[in-house]
Amino acid sequence: MTQQRRRPRAIAIARADESRSQGELIAFAATFALFAIAASAIFSSL
């Protein structure tokens, strides 16, 4: 009985951790894309 109550909470924690890591990956990709766009703009202006 107590194990069934603990499982959904553990699943929710695992999902929250997964979504957080996914958000960090998206933030890293956005930063990298912004850097690439800035670098290409600088090179094209030269």
Q: What string of DSSP letters covers 2-40?
A: HHHHHHHHHHHHHHHHHHHHHHHHHHHHHHHHHHHHHHH
Pairwise CA distance, residues 39 & 31, whole Å: 12
Check residue 1 and give its pLDDT: 54
Report pLDDT for 6.
56
* Tokens encoding 8: 């959904």
The tens digit of pLDDT for each residue in 6-45 reads 567 777 777 878 787 888 999 999 999 999 999 999 999 8
pLDDT, position 27: 94
| Side chain identity, residue 24 | E
Pairwise pLDDT comparison (5 vs 22), residue with the higher score = 22
Predicted TM-score (pTM) of the model is 0.56
